[in-house]
Structure 1
Protein backbone atom coordinates (compact mmCIF):
# COMPACT_ATOMS: atom_id res chain seq x y z
CA UNK A 1 0.00 0.00 0.00
CA UNK A 2 3.00 2.28 -0.47
CA UNK A 3 1.17 4.27 -3.16
CA UNK A 4 -2.14 4.51 -1.30
CA UNK A 5 -2.68 7.63 0.79
CA UNK A 6 -5.54 8.35 3.17
CA UNK A 7 -6.64 11.87 4.03
CA UNK A 8 -8.00 12.33 7.55
CA UNK A 9 -10.78 14.90 7.94
CA UNK A 10 -11.58 15.65 11.59
CA UNK A 11 -15.05 16.72 12.65
CA UNK A 12 -16.11 19.82 14.53
CA UNK A 13 -19.30 21.03 12.90
CA UNK A 14 -17.45 23.03 10.21
CA UNK A 15 -16.54 25.36 13.11
CA UNK A 16 -13.40 23.67 14.45
CA UNK A 17 -11.15 20.65 13.89
CA UNK A 18 -11.47 18.04 16.66
CA UNK A 19 -7.93 17.16 17.74
CA UNK A 20 -8.73 13.56 18.73
CA UNK A 21 -10.04 12.90 15.20
CA UNK A 22 -6.85 14.17 13.56
CA UNK A 23 -3.27 13.08 14.35
CA UNK A 24 -4.33 10.09 16.51
CA UNK A 25 -6.13 8.69 13.45
CA UNK A 26 -3.02 9.23 11.31
CA UNK A 27 -1.01 7.36 13.96
CA UNK A 28 -3.48 4.45 13.94
CA UNK A 29 -3.40 4.24 10.13
CA UNK A 30 0.40 4.37 10.15
CA UNK A 31 0.40 1.52 12.66
CA UNK A 32 -1.50 -0.68 10.20
CA UNK A 33 0.77 0.28 7.31
CA UNK A 34 -1.34 2.97 5.65
CA UNK A 35 0.22 6.30 4.73
CA UNK A 36 -2.00 9.14 5.91
CA UNK A 37 -2.14 12.85 6.68
CA UNK A 38 -4.58 15.28 8.27
CA UNK A 39 -6.20 17.90 6.06
CA UNK A 40 -7.54 20.89 7.92
CA UNK A 41 -10.17 22.16 5.53
CA UNK A 42 -11.49 25.76 5.71
CA UNK A 43 -13.76 26.50 8.68
CA UNK A 44 -16.71 28.90 8.85
CA UNK A 45 -16.66 28.77 5.06
CA UNK A 46 -19.55 28.48 2.63
CA UNK A 47 -19.93 25.63 0.19
CA UNK A 48 -18.13 24.87 -2.09
CA UNK A 49 -15.00 26.37 -0.50
CA UNK A 50 -14.17 23.35 1.74
CA UNK A 51 -14.82 20.95 -1.15
CA UNK A 52 -12.59 22.92 -3.51
CA UNK A 53 -9.81 22.96 -0.91
CA UNK A 54 -10.05 19.19 -0.41
CA UNK A 55 -10.03 18.53 -4.15
CA UNK A 56 -6.86 20.64 -4.41
CA UNK A 57 -5.27 18.50 -1.69
CA UNK A 58 -6.22 15.31 -3.56
CA UNK A 59 -4.62 16.73 -6.73
CA UNK A 60 -1.48 17.53 -4.75
CA UNK A 61 -1.25 14.00 -3.36
CA UNK A 62 -1.69 12.42 -6.78
CA UNK A 63 0.95 14.73 -8.24
CA UNK A 64 3.26 13.59 -5.42
CA UNK A 65 2.82 9.96 -6.48
CA UNK A 66 -0.27 8.63 -4.70
CA UNK A 67 -1.90 6.02 -6.93
CA UNK A 68 -5.02 5.61 -4.78
CA UNK A 69 -6.49 8.23 -2.46
CA UNK A 70 -8.92 7.31 0.30
CA UNK A 71 -10.69 9.63 2.72
CA UNK A 72 -11.58 9.06 6.37
CA UNK A 73 -13.85 11.67 7.90
CA UNK A 74 -15.75 12.13 11.14
CA UNK A 75 -19.01 14.04 11.67
CA UNK A 76 -18.74 17.22 9.54
CA UNK A 77 -15.44 15.90 8.19
CA UNK A 78 -17.37 12.82 7.12
CA UNK A 79 -19.82 15.03 5.26
CA UNK A 80 -16.95 16.71 3.42
CA UNK A 81 -15.39 13.33 2.63
CA UNK A 82 -18.69 12.16 1.21
CA UNK A 83 -19.07 15.30 -0.90
CA UNK A 84 -15.60 14.81 -2.38
CA UNK A 85 -16.40 11.19 -3.15
CA UNK A 86 -19.88 11.79 -4.60
CA UNK A 87 -20.38 15.35 -5.87
CA UNK A 88 -20.21 15.85 -9.62
CA UNK A 89 -17.57 18.01 -11.23
CA UNK A 90 -14.37 16.36 -9.97
CA UNK A 91 -11.48 16.26 -12.42
CA UNK A 92 -9.88 12.82 -12.98
CA UNK A 93 -6.99 13.71 -10.66
CA UNK A 94 -9.48 14.74 -7.93
CA UNK A 95 -11.37 11.44 -7.74
CA UNK A 96 -11.70 9.50 -4.50
CA UNK A 97 -11.04 5.74 -4.54
CA UNK A 98 -12.76 4.85 -1.25
CA UNK A 99 -14.13 6.56 1.85
CA UNK A 100 -14.56 5.78 5.55
CA UNK A 101 -17.24 7.85 7.32
CA UNK A 102 -17.64 7.89 11.10
CA UNK A 103 -20.93 9.22 12.52
CA UNK A 104 -21.09 11.50 9.51
CA UNK A 105 -23.55 14.24 8.72
CA UNK A 106 -24.91 12.96 5.41
CA UNK A 107 -28.08 14.99 4.87
CA UNK A 108 -28.56 18.73 4.69
CA UNK A 109 -32.31 18.17 4.20
CA UNK A 110 -33.02 17.08 7.77
CA UNK A 111 -33.21 19.44 10.75
CA UNK A 112 -30.67 17.48 12.80
CA UNK A 113 -27.31 19.09 13.53
CA UNK A 114 -28.55 22.38 12.08
CA UNK A 115 -25.46 24.44 13.13
CA UNK A 116 -23.25 22.75 10.51
CA UNK A 117 -25.81 23.42 7.81
CA UNK A 118 -26.02 27.10 8.73
CA UNK A 119 -22.24 27.49 8.54
CA UNK A 120 -21.91 25.64 5.25
CA UNK A 121 -25.05 26.76 3.43
CA UNK A 122 -26.39 29.79 5.27
CA UNK A 123 -29.72 30.57 6.90
CA UNK A 124 -31.69 30.88 3.67
CA UNK A 125 -30.30 27.91 1.73
CA UNK A 126 -32.66 26.82 -1.03
CA UNK A 127 -34.17 23.36 -1.17
CA UNK A 128 -32.03 22.73 -4.26
CA UNK A 129 -28.80 23.67 -2.45
CA UNK A 130 -29.68 21.54 0.55
CA UNK A 131 -30.39 18.56 -1.68
CA UNK A 132 -27.25 19.05 -3.78
CA UNK A 133 -25.14 18.83 -0.61
CA UNK A 134 -26.95 15.77 0.79
CA UNK A 135 -24.88 12.66 0.19
CA UNK A 136 -27.79 10.28 -0.29
CA UNK A 137 -28.99 12.44 -3.21
CA UNK A 138 -25.58 12.30 -4.91
CA UNK A 139 -25.06 8.54 -5.08
CA UNK A 140 -24.65 7.10 -8.58
CA UNK A 141 -23.64 3.58 -9.66
CA UNK A 142 -20.13 4.97 -10.30
CA UNK A 143 -19.62 5.99 -6.66
CA UNK A 144 -16.56 4.60 -4.85
CA UNK A 145 -16.86 2.04 -2.02
CA UNK A 146 -17.86 3.30 1.43
CA UNK A 147 -17.32 2.10 4.99
CA UNK A 148 -19.87 3.68 7.36
CA UNK A 149 -20.13 3.47 11.13
CA UNK A 150 -22.29 5.18 13.75
CA UNK A 151 -23.87 4.60 17.15
CA UNK A 152 -27.60 4.29 17.69
CA UNK A 153 -27.37 6.54 20.77
CA UNK A 154 -25.69 9.48 19.01
CA UNK A 155 -27.65 12.50 20.30
CA UNK A 156 -26.20 15.09 17.89
CA UNK A 157 -26.04 13.34 14.51
CA UNK A 158 -28.67 10.59 14.64
CA UNK A 159 -27.86 7.25 13.05
CA UNK A 160 -30.53 8.05 10.48
CA UNK A 161 -27.81 9.96 8.62
CA UNK A 162 -25.88 6.74 8.09
CA UNK A 163 -29.03 4.76 7.29
CA UNK A 164 -29.99 7.28 4.59
CA UNK A 165 -26.63 7.04 2.87
CA UNK A 166 -26.42 3.26 3.23
CA UNK A 167 -29.88 2.91 1.66
CA UNK A 168 -28.86 5.07 -1.28
CA UNK A 169 -25.63 3.10 -1.76
CA UNK A 170 -27.60 -0.14 -1.69
CA UNK A 171 -30.10 1.18 -4.23
CA UNK A 172 -27.22 2.19 -6.50
CA UNK A 173 -25.50 -1.16 -6.05
CA UNK A 174 -22.41 0.63 -4.73
CA UNK A 175 -20.06 -1.56 -2.63
CA UNK A 176 -20.36 -0.57 1.00
CA UNK A 177 -20.40 -1.76 4.57
CA UNK A 178 -22.30 -0.16 7.45
CA UNK A 179 -22.01 -0.76 11.20
CA UNK A 180 -24.34 0.86 13.74
CA UNK A 181 -23.34 0.03 17.29
CA UNK A 182 -25.94 0.07 20.04
CA UNK A 183 -24.12 2.31 22.51
CA UNK A 184 -21.87 5.33 22.45
CA UNK A 185 -22.00 9.14 22.26
CA UNK A 186 -21.09 11.39 19.35
CA UNK A 187 -17.47 12.17 18.50
CA UNK A 188 -15.91 8.87 19.59
CA UNK A 189 -12.89 9.12 17.30
CA UNK A 190 -10.92 5.88 17.56
CA UNK A 191 -13.43 4.77 20.24
CA UNK A 192 -10.85 3.11 22.44
CA UNK A 193 -12.39 1.83 25.67
CA UNK A 194 -15.84 2.61 24.24
CA UNK A 195 -17.34 -0.86 24.50
CA UNK A 196 -18.59 -2.58 21.37
CA UNK A 197 -17.94 0.48 19.18
CA UNK A 198 -14.20 0.07 19.81
CA UNK A 199 -14.17 -2.71 17.23
CA UNK A 200 -14.79 -0.30 14.36
CA UNK A 201 -11.06 0.17 13.77
CA UNK A 202 -10.52 -3.58 13.46
CA UNK A 203 -13.39 -3.85 10.99
CA UNK A 204 -12.18 -0.82 9.05
CA UNK A 205 -8.61 -2.14 8.90
CA UNK A 206 -9.70 -5.27 7.05
CA UNK A 207 -11.92 -3.22 4.74
CA UNK A 208 -9.17 -0.67 3.96
CA UNK A 209 -6.79 -3.49 3.03
CA UNK A 210 -9.38 -4.71 0.53
CA UNK A 211 -9.58 -1.26 -1.08
CA UNK A 212 -5.91 -0.34 -1.06
Structure 2
Protein backbone atom coordinates (compact mmCIF):
# COMPACT_ATOMS: atom_id res chain seq x y z
CA UNK A 1 0.00 0.00 0.00
CA UNK A 2 1.06 3.56 -0.66
CA UNK A 3 1.50 6.16 2.12
CA UNK A 4 -1.89 7.44 3.26
CA UNK A 5 -2.65 11.06 4.19
CA UNK A 6 -4.61 10.95 7.44
CA UNK A 7 -6.18 14.39 7.13
CA UNK A 8 -8.70 15.49 4.53
CA UNK A 9 -8.21 18.64 2.52
CA UNK A 10 -10.73 20.31 4.84
CA UNK A 11 -7.99 21.14 7.34
CA UNK A 12 -5.23 23.69 6.76
CA UNK A 13 -2.03 22.12 8.06
CA UNK A 14 0.45 24.87 7.08
CA UNK A 15 3.36 22.41 7.25
CA UNK A 16 3.95 18.97 5.75
CA UNK A 17 0.89 16.75 5.53
CA UNK A 18 1.04 13.91 8.11
CA UNK A 19 0.83 10.40 6.66
CA UNK A 20 0.83 6.79 7.78
CA UNK A 21 2.93 4.28 5.86
CA UNK A 22 1.30 0.82 5.95
CA UNK A 23 3.23 -2.43 6.34
CA UNK A 24 0.62 -5.14 5.96
CA UNK A 25 1.40 -8.52 7.52
CA UNK A 26 1.10 -11.38 5.02
CA UNK A 27 -0.73 -13.37 7.67
CA UNK A 28 -2.38 -11.70 10.64
CA UNK A 29 -4.27 -14.37 12.58
CA UNK A 30 -4.94 -12.04 15.52
CA UNK A 31 -6.09 -9.25 13.15
CA UNK A 32 -3.98 -6.77 15.12
CA UNK A 33 -2.26 -3.52 14.20
CA UNK A 34 0.36 -1.27 15.79
CA UNK A 35 1.00 2.36 14.87
CA UNK A 36 4.65 3.38 15.28
CA UNK A 37 5.79 6.84 16.42
CA UNK A 38 9.54 7.21 15.73
CA UNK A 39 11.60 9.39 18.03
CA UNK A 40 13.63 12.46 17.21
CA UNK A 41 13.06 15.00 19.97
CA UNK A 42 9.99 16.47 18.22
CA UNK A 43 12.60 17.90 15.79
CA UNK A 44 12.77 15.04 13.30
CA UNK A 45 11.63 11.42 12.91
CA UNK A 46 14.34 8.76 13.13
CA UNK A 47 14.18 6.32 10.20
CA UNK A 48 15.66 3.41 12.19
CA UNK A 49 12.75 3.66 14.64
CA UNK A 50 10.19 3.38 11.86
CA UNK A 51 10.44 0.98 8.92
CA UNK A 52 12.74 -1.63 10.57
CA UNK A 53 10.37 -1.78 13.54
CA UNK A 54 7.37 -2.20 11.23
CA UNK A 55 9.14 -5.08 9.47
CA UNK A 56 9.85 -6.71 12.84
CA UNK A 57 6.17 -6.45 13.79
CA UNK A 58 5.29 -8.05 10.46
CA UNK A 59 7.39 -11.10 11.41
CA UNK A 60 5.07 -11.48 14.43
CA UNK A 61 2.01 -11.42 12.17
CA UNK A 62 1.07 -7.85 13.13
CA UNK A 63 0.17 -5.18 10.60
CA UNK A 64 2.13 -1.97 11.23
CA UNK A 65 1.78 1.68 10.31
CA UNK A 66 4.59 4.22 10.64
CA UNK A 67 3.18 7.62 11.57
CA UNK A 68 4.88 10.67 10.09
CA UNK A 69 3.55 13.13 12.64
CA UNK A 70 4.31 16.85 12.57
CA UNK A 71 7.51 18.02 14.24
CA UNK A 72 9.18 21.38 14.85
CA UNK A 73 8.22 24.08 13.90
CA UNK A 74 4.91 22.40 14.76
CA UNK A 75 4.04 22.68 18.44
CA UNK A 76 1.60 21.08 20.85
CA UNK A 77 -1.25 20.24 20.05
CA UNK A 78 -0.31 19.26 16.49
CA UNK A 79 1.62 16.00 17.09
CA UNK A 80 -1.10 14.77 19.47
CA UNK A 81 -3.75 15.66 16.90
CA UNK A 82 -1.87 13.55 14.35
CA UNK A 83 -1.64 10.59 16.73
CA UNK A 84 -5.33 10.77 17.63
CA UNK A 85 -6.28 11.07 13.98
CA UNK A 86 -4.04 8.14 12.98
CA UNK A 87 -5.66 5.84 15.53
CA UNK A 88 -9.11 6.90 14.35
CA UNK A 89 -8.07 6.48 10.71
CA UNK A 90 -6.85 2.91 11.23
CA UNK A 91 -9.86 2.02 13.38
CA UNK A 92 -12.27 3.50 10.82
CA UNK A 93 -10.71 1.41 8.03
CA UNK A 94 -10.12 -1.67 10.20
CA UNK A 95 -12.69 -3.93 8.55
CA UNK A 96 -11.42 -3.37 5.01
CA UNK A 97 -7.83 -3.98 6.15
CA UNK A 98 -8.67 -7.14 8.09
CA UNK A 99 -7.96 -5.56 11.46
CA UNK A 100 -9.89 -6.01 14.70
CA UNK A 101 -10.87 -2.46 15.77
CA UNK A 102 -10.27 -3.54 19.39
CA UNK A 103 -6.65 -4.54 18.66
CA UNK A 104 -4.96 -1.30 17.67
CA UNK A 105 -1.83 -0.38 19.60
CA UNK A 106 0.74 2.41 19.69
CA UNK A 107 4.51 1.98 19.85
CA UNK A 108 6.79 4.96 20.38
CA UNK A 109 10.49 5.67 20.88
CA UNK A 110 11.88 8.56 22.95
CA UNK A 111 9.84 11.66 21.99
CA UNK A 112 7.64 9.32 19.96
CA UNK A 113 7.19 7.41 23.21
CA UNK A 114 6.02 10.63 24.81
CA UNK A 115 3.55 11.10 21.97
CA UNK A 116 2.33 7.51 22.36
CA UNK A 117 1.94 8.03 26.12
CA UNK A 118 0.01 11.26 25.50
CA UNK A 119 -2.34 9.47 23.11
CA UNK A 120 -2.74 6.62 25.62
CA UNK A 121 -3.71 8.98 28.46
CA UNK A 122 -5.41 11.87 26.67
CA UNK A 123 -7.94 10.17 24.41
CA UNK A 124 -10.66 12.37 25.92
CA UNK A 125 -8.61 15.50 25.32
CA UNK A 126 -9.80 17.23 22.11
CA UNK A 127 -6.53 17.93 20.29
CA UNK A 128 -8.51 19.08 17.23
CA UNK A 129 -12.05 19.75 16.11
CA UNK A 130 -13.73 16.74 14.55
CA UNK A 131 -14.11 17.14 10.80
CA UNK A 132 -15.62 13.97 9.28
CA UNK A 133 -16.90 10.44 9.87
CA UNK A 134 -13.42 9.14 10.66
CA UNK A 135 -13.55 11.20 13.84
CA UNK A 136 -16.51 9.18 15.09
CA UNK A 137 -14.05 6.37 15.87
CA UNK A 138 -12.32 6.17 19.24
CA UNK A 139 -8.75 7.49 19.46
CA UNK A 140 -7.83 5.41 22.52
CA UNK A 141 -5.16 2.79 21.75
CA UNK A 142 -5.75 -0.69 23.13
CA UNK A 143 -2.11 -1.11 24.21
CA UNK A 144 0.97 1.11 24.43
CA UNK A 145 4.62 0.14 23.93
CA UNK A 146 7.01 2.82 25.18
CA UNK A 147 10.69 2.50 24.30
CA UNK A 148 13.07 4.73 26.34
CA UNK A 149 10.22 7.26 26.41
CA UNK A 150 10.20 10.89 27.39
CA UNK A 151 7.44 10.85 30.03
CA UNK A 152 7.78 13.97 32.09
CA UNK A 153 8.10 17.60 31.02
CA UNK A 154 9.08 18.58 34.56
CA UNK A 155 12.30 17.96 36.51
CA UNK A 156 13.71 14.98 34.61
CA UNK A 157 12.65 15.87 31.08
CA UNK A 158 14.56 15.83 27.81
CA UNK A 159 15.16 19.53 27.24
CA UNK A 160 15.24 19.26 23.44
CA UNK A 161 11.81 17.63 23.32
CA UNK A 162 10.44 20.18 25.77
CA UNK A 163 11.67 23.15 23.73
CA UNK A 164 10.57 21.77 20.36
CA UNK A 165 7.11 20.93 21.67
CA UNK A 166 6.38 23.89 23.94
CA UNK A 167 8.89 26.56 22.92
CA UNK A 168 11.26 28.57 25.11
CA UNK A 169 10.30 29.14 28.75
CA UNK A 170 6.91 27.37 28.66
CA UNK A 171 4.45 27.90 31.47
CA UNK A 172 4.42 25.38 34.31
CA UNK A 173 0.78 24.52 33.52
CA UNK A 174 1.71 23.47 29.98
CA UNK A 175 4.64 21.37 31.24
CA UNK A 176 2.38 19.67 33.77
CA UNK A 177 -0.32 18.98 31.17
CA UNK A 178 2.20 17.07 29.06
CA UNK A 179 3.82 15.16 31.94
CA UNK A 180 2.26 11.75 31.52
CA UNK A 181 3.08 10.50 35.01
CA UNK A 182 0.39 12.97 36.09
CA UNK A 183 -2.31 11.53 33.84
CA UNK A 184 -2.35 7.76 34.32
CA UNK A 185 -5.89 6.60 35.11
CA UNK A 186 -8.11 3.53 35.01
CA UNK A 187 -8.53 4.21 31.28
CA UNK A 188 -4.79 3.97 30.52
CA UNK A 189 -4.22 0.90 28.33
CA UNK A 190 -1.94 -2.02 29.24
CA UNK A 191 1.63 -0.92 28.67
CA UNK A 192 5.10 -2.32 27.93
CA UNK A 193 8.15 -0.17 28.71
CA UNK A 194 11.87 -0.60 28.31
CA UNK A 195 14.83 1.67 29.01
CA UNK A 196 18.55 1.49 29.72
CA UNK A 197 19.82 2.44 33.15
CA UNK A 198 22.65 4.58 31.79
CA UNK A 199 20.63 6.49 29.17
CA UNK A 200 22.32 9.90 29.10
CA UNK A 201 19.66 11.68 27.03
CA UNK A 202 16.36 10.61 28.57
CA UNK A 203 16.94 9.52 32.19
CA UNK A 204 15.52 6.12 33.10
CA UNK A 205 13.49 7.79 35.85
CA UNK A 206 11.04 8.74 33.09
CA UNK A 207 10.02 5.10 32.70
CA UNK A 208 10.21 4.49 36.46
CA UNK A 209 7.86 7.39 37.20
CA UNK A 210 5.36 6.09 34.67
CA UNK A 211 5.57 2.49 35.83
CA UNK A 212 4.97 3.61 39.40
CA UNK A 213 1.75 5.32 38.35
CA UNK A 214 0.66 2.33 36.28
CA UNK A 215 1.15 0.18 39.37
CA UNK A 216 -0.83 2.59 41.54
CA UNK A 217 -3.69 2.62 39.02
CA UNK A 218 -3.52 -1.20 38.71
CA UNK A 219 -2.93 -1.04 34.96
CA UNK A 220 -1.31 -4.23 33.59
CA UNK A 221 2.25 -3.46 32.55
CA UNK A 222 5.76 -4.77 32.07
CA UNK A 223 8.92 -2.71 32.61
CA UNK A 224 12.40 -3.85 31.56
CA UNK A 225 15.50 -1.85 32.48
CA UNK A 226 18.77 -2.99 30.87
CA UNK A 227 22.05 -2.05 32.55
CA UNK A 228 23.78 -0.57 29.52
CA UNK A 229 22.94 1.03 26.21
CA UNK A 230 23.00 4.44 24.60
CA UNK A 231 19.84 6.38 23.88
CA UNK A 232 18.10 5.79 20.57
CA UNK A 233 18.90 2.09 20.13
CA UNK A 234 15.80 1.20 18.12
CA UNK A 235 15.82 -2.57 17.67
CA UNK A 236 19.15 -2.50 19.59
CA UNK A 237 20.82 -5.07 17.35
CA UNK A 238 24.31 -3.85 18.32
CA UNK A 239 23.59 -4.12 22.06
CA UNK A 240 23.04 -7.84 22.87
CA UNK A 241 21.47 -7.29 26.29
CA UNK A 242 19.05 -4.53 25.29
CA UNK A 243 18.26 -6.40 22.06
CA UNK A 244 16.30 -8.83 24.21
CA UNK A 245 13.52 -6.26 24.37
CA UNK A 246 12.01 -7.46 21.10
CA UNK A 247 11.61 -11.03 22.35
CA UNK A 248 10.21 -9.82 25.67
CA UNK A 249 7.82 -7.52 23.85
CA UNK A 250 6.72 -10.31 21.50
CA UNK A 251 5.83 -12.46 24.53
CA UNK A 252 3.92 -9.55 26.05
CA UNK A 253 2.09 -8.90 22.78
CA UNK A 254 1.05 -12.55 22.78
CA UNK A 255 -0.38 -12.14 26.28
CA UNK A 256 -2.42 -9.16 25.02
CA UNK A 257 -3.82 -11.25 22.14
CA UNK A 258 -1.94 -9.29 19.46
CA UNK A 259 0.04 -12.26 18.13
CA UNK A 260 0.67 -15.93 18.74
CA UNK A 261 3.55 -16.97 20.96
Is TM (by shorter chain) over 0.5? yes
CA distance in 1, matches of 2:120, 2:156: 23
CA distance in 1, matches of 2:238, 2:201: 21
- Structure with higher Rg: it is 2
Moved over 2 A (4+): 88-92
Structure 1 unaligned residues grouped into runs of 5+: none
The equivalent residue for 2:76 is 47
The equivalent residue for 1:57 is 86
Q: Is the 8 A contact 2:196 2:225 kept in 1?
A: yes
Structure 2 unaligned residues grouped into runs of 5+: 1-28, 127-135
Q: Deviations over 1:51-105 (max 9, x none)?
A: 0111111111011114121011000000000000001326751111001000000
What SS is found at the alignment partner of 1:94? Answer: coil
- Between the two proteins, the alignment pairs up a number of residues equal to 212
Q: Is the 8 A contact 2:92 2:137 kept in 1?
A: no
What SS is found at the alignment partner of 2:238? Answer: coil
| TM-score (ref. length: structure 1) | 0.96
What SS is found at the alignment partner of 1:130? Answer: helix
| TM-score (ref. length: structure 2) | 0.78
RMSD: 1.3
Q: Deviations over 1:13-50 (max 9, x none)?
A: 00011111000000000011111010011011111110
CA distance in 2, matches of 1:109, 1:178: 21
CA distance in 1, matches of 2:117, 2:64: 18
CA distance in 1, matches of 2:160, 2:77: 17
